[in-house]
Amino acid sequence: MPKKKFKEKKSKKEKEQKSSIHKAVVKLLNENPGKAFDFKQIARKVGAKNKLANQEIFETLDSLVEEGRIRQLANGSYATTKKSDTIIGRVDHVNPRFAYVVTGIEGQKDIYVKTRDLGSAFHGDKVEVELLSKRTGESPEGRVTEILERGRKRFVGRLELSKGFAFIIPDFKKIYTDFFVYQENIHDAKTNDKVLFEVTRWPEGDKSPEAKIIEILGKAGENEAEIHSIMAEFDLPFRFPDNVLHESEKISETIQVEEIKKRWDFRNTLTFTIDPEDAKDFDDAISVKKLDNGNYEIGVHIADVTHYVRPNTVLDDDAYDRATSVYLVDRTVPMLPEKLSNGLCSLRPNEDKLTFAAVFEMDTNAKVISEKFGRTVIHSDYRFTYENAQEGIETGNGNFATELKTLNELAIKLRKQRFKNGAVNFETSEVKFKLDEKGKPLSVVPKIRKDAHKLVEEFMLLANKAVATFIYKLKKSEGKNTFVYRIHDSPDPEKVRDFSLFARQFGHKINPDDHNISRSLNSLMDEIEGKPEQNVLQSLAVRAMTKAKYTTEAKGHFGLAFNHYTHFTSPIRRYPDMMVHRLLQHYLDEGKPANKSELEEKCIHSSEREKRAADAERASIKYKQVEFMSMAADKLYNGIITGVTDFGIFVEIVETKCEGMVRLADMKDDFYELDEKNYRVIGRRRNKIYRLGDKVEVRVKKTDVDRRMIDLIFED
């Protein structure tokens, strides 16, 4: 390498390190107002590993002291000069007029911020906010004083080309400005192209943010362009890095005899998988054997992913970063490369496979007599689809029909006991699209859950609960074993109270003060089954619930009525399950409690990635709904009101299960206002009411693929 280029490269690297250290020091001190750190503590916390980095810290501290942003105390330590009443959080830019800064601190309300007080902060940015005294609403009002961390710098949008420059209209609904692109940064993109772009300059004053095009995704409206747009919008990876693929390809497909000797051998025990017809990976199998005492030995065998994916490898690092597989309407964005997910770790029939199992002895009443956990080797005898497993259950004919019937009877008893213990029965309706070879939606098909689905679900739930309970109760002289739990808190009493008031409008009673609220909810779910208001009330009930998450806190799962619960059964597609496998083996080997803070950090990351996946999946479904309705006949559709806002009424079309919006601005017969507490809008002059759950007739006004919106109008 020429000497000049080497110096330029080194200089750039030094600048990047300096910038990184400066940001890290500022972040550390600003996020800990009222707390002081000496030099060694600062160096350790920002990860300084050499003399150059230490020198940069010294220079940064000196400059920050000179600027008055920090102060040096008498003992030589450093602290921020910022007032402790400033608040740090993430921007949630609700609409063009205002945003909230979400603090995530229990007991701290989110901060209301007018758009003009955001400065150059965008949705998702981590910011510092100072509180203002003028707010009279429920939430305190604030103003962004500093942007601590950009949420992201890459976005997706549609290009509009002008002479010598271009603008990009972002797809992301919570970005309310266009991005300016200079000629040299347009490359070969054309008007109406969907592009992935990167911000080069954030806005100052009234100026637009500036950007450069990174990748052309295709023409707006085309399936590949739109799906890639969704993937880029949610920062989903398009492909696996070469080093990850290379590492996966090096893994041997041969199972060594020595490895089999370490495991329980279930190859001579009847074992099979039950999965969707189009499944490519099979990560769980069930073994069944009748014992001499009349009980059954039921094994839940899960692909032993962690045998192949080891800690501190690029394969594991990439899996952790992804944290979950993402299921879009026309493709899967997998957590692991195909060699693992569809090959080595897929429990295909007639092949020896390495697994991790929870094995139960159960009597005919589905009572667990004993349980054991450990690594196994299996040889699946058959691959059932849900459809042919259901046929075997219903008719008693076909392969292993007797065993299927036995498992189904046990599953029904497990399910009955679960609901008796207080599990909540939310059977929400789901649909899937039938697509042609180009990804165009041909029809909408409802997903129907039958006994075969519930059979698998019950045994997976049993295994997840048993593993969590086993670890929680495992005695250790050092204290409780740190573990990864899947928790679900009880619902917010205020939300349940609001929900009960709404349900009363349909003639249904629910007691929000009932100490066994799950019993009241289940009674309501039974009562509304098959009635017009079923979907609306189920949807509202789900909204009243808290969100499940991963944590090291040994709390229970309200929805399932389990004291302890984890995710053990899907390590091909969920990183927390890999964490659970490693921890379970570690404790079976009598290891010491794992580091709680490290595990909690991974739990938070996994929960955030799970939310990202769910949001991306919803976006892809919405895109297909819009595309499907753009081809639908111009006719009246029966619909049900599923949501009301201050700008429109959401309506689900009964025939297609697609949701659109009737904008209040399009309702010319009156001026309608939102009555938020009663989930309705009311006409100011005629007092006409549209409320959640009402049956209505609508017509499609227009569809907008870019915004993934279906505009509807009520029939006059």
pLDDT in tens, 92-135: 998 888 999 998 776 678 899 999 999 999 999 999 998 887 65
pLDDT range class, residue 9, cuts 50, 70, 90: very low
Give me the helices (H) in 366-477, please.
Answer: 386-395, 401-420, 451-473
Q: What is the mean pLDDT of residues 533-555?
A: 84
Looking at residue 370, what is its pLDDT?
97
Amino acid at 128: E
- Stretch (H or E) spanning 651: strand 648-653
pLDDT in tens, 505-537: 778 888 776 667 887 888 888 888 777 677 778
Tell me which architecture the domain covering 632-714 has in CATH.
Beta Barrel (2.40)
Q: What is the pLDDT of residue 633?
A: 83
Integer CA distances (angstroms), 642 to 536, 607, 692, in order: 6, 27, 6
**705 vs 343, residue with greater confidence:** 343
Using pLDDT thresholds of 50, 70 and 90, give the confidence band for residue 1.
very low
**pLDDT given at position 522:** 82
Query: What is the C-alpha to C-alpha distance for residues 73 and 60, in angstroms, rounded to an integer?
Result: 16
Mean pLDDT of the chain, nearest integer: 89
Contacting residues for 558 by C-beta, under 8 A, at least 6 apart = 424, 488, 489, 490, 491, 518, 545, 546
Count how many Cα atoms sit within 13 Å of the Cα of residue 404 in the half-sphere of its side chain.
27
List b or e across 600-628, with b for residues whose CB sees 16 or more CB atoms inside 10 angstroms: bebbebbbebbebbeebbebbbbbbbbbb
pLDDT above 50: residue 141: yes
Average pLDDT of the residues in 67-91: 81
Res. 165 pLDDT band, cuts 50 70 90: very high
Rounded mean pLDDT, 555-582? 96
**Residues 104, 107: Cα–Cα separation, whole Å:** 9
555, 487 contact by CB (below 8 A): yes
Residue 168 CA, chain-centre distance (Å), reads 28
Pick the closest to residue 143 from 124, 116, 117 (CA basis).
117
> Interhelix angle for 314-322 vs 596-630, to 10°?
60
Equal fold, 14-80 vs 154-220: no
Question: Highest-confidence range of 61-65, 265-269, 540-544, by mean pLDDT?
Answer: 265-269
Closest CA to 650 of 708, 716, 715, 712: 712
Residue 464's alpha-carbon distances to 23, 319, 448, in angstroms, are 42, 21, 24
pLDDT value of position 101: 94
Residue written as tokens 């992301």? 172
Q: CA-to-CA distance for 702 and 708, rounded, in angstroms?
A: 11
Among the ranges given (3-17, 233-247, 487-501), the one the predictor scored with the smallest mean pLDDT: 3-17
Is residue 2 pLDDT above 80, yes or no? no
Q: Is 296 helix (H, G, I), strand (E, B) or coil?
A: strand
Q: Could you tell me the CA-to-CA distances from 365 to 401, 406, 459, 481, 574 in Å, in that order? A: 20, 11, 14, 32, 32
490 — pLDDT class (breaks 50, 70, 90): confident
DSSP state of 664: G
Q: Which two tokens stand for residue 281?
A: 């990976």
Least confident of 45-54, 129-138, 317-326, 503-512: 129-138
Tokens linked to 331: 């493709």
Residue type (1 letter), 197:
F
Q: What is the average pLDDT across 187-212?
A: 91
Residue 400: closest CA among 265, 284, 286:
286
What is the CATH class of 154-220?
mainly beta
Q: What is the pLDDT of residues 405-430, one digit of tens each?
A: 999 999 999 999 999 988 887 766 77
87-149 has which fold? Answer: OB fold (Dihydrolipoamide Acetyltransferase, E2P) (2.40.50)
238-247, 393-402, 474-483, 670-679: which has the minimum mean pLDDT? 474-483
Q: Please check the confidence at residue 5 and state whether its pLDDT lies above 60.
A: no
Residue 703 has pLDDT above 80, yes or no: yes
Contacts of 1 (CB under 8 A, 6+ apart): 9
46 touches 40 (CB < 8 A): no
What are the Cα distances from residue 4, in Å, to 7, 9, 10?
5, 9, 10
Residue type, 430: E
Question: In the prediction, which pLDDT does 689 show?
Answer: 93
- Scan for tokens 């400033």, then name that residue: 86
Q: Write down the pLDDT at residue 18.
A: 60
Query: How does residue 10 score in pLDDT terms, banded at 50, 70 and 90?
Result: very low
Percent of the chain past pLDDT 70, that is, above it, reads: 94
| Cα–Cα distance for residue pair 259/251, rounded to 1 Å | 15
Q: Is the pLDDT of residue 219 over 60?
A: yes
Closest listed residue to residue 272, CA positions, set 388, 415, 394, 369: 388
Q: For residue 478, what pLDDT is reported? A: 66
What confidence tens digit (pLDDT) does each residue in 268-290 have? 999 999 999 888 889 999 999 99
Terminal Cα distance for the chain, rounded: 75
| pLDDT score for 6 | 35
Buried/exposed code over 61-99 (b: 16+ C-beta within 10 A; e: otherwise) = beebeeeeebeeeeeebbbbebeeebbbbbbebeeeeeb
Which of 420, 422, 394 has its CA nearest to residue 408?
A: 394
CATH class of the domain whose range is 14-80: mainly alpha
Mean pLDDT is lowest, of 165-179, 420-434, 484-498, 547-561, for: 420-434
Domain ranges of the chain: 14-80, 87-149, 154-220, 242-486+556-612, 632-714
> Does residue 393 contact residue 491 with C-beta atoms inside 8 Å?
no
How far are the Cα atoms of 112, 159, 230, 403 from residue 706, in angstroms, in the given order?
Answer: 29, 11, 10, 50
pTM to 2 decimals?
0.81
Cβ-contact 166, 208 below 8 angstroms: no
Cα Rg of the chain, angstroms: 28
CA distance 651 to 619: 17
Q: What is the pLDDT of residue 137?
A: 64
**Amino acid at the residue 506:** F
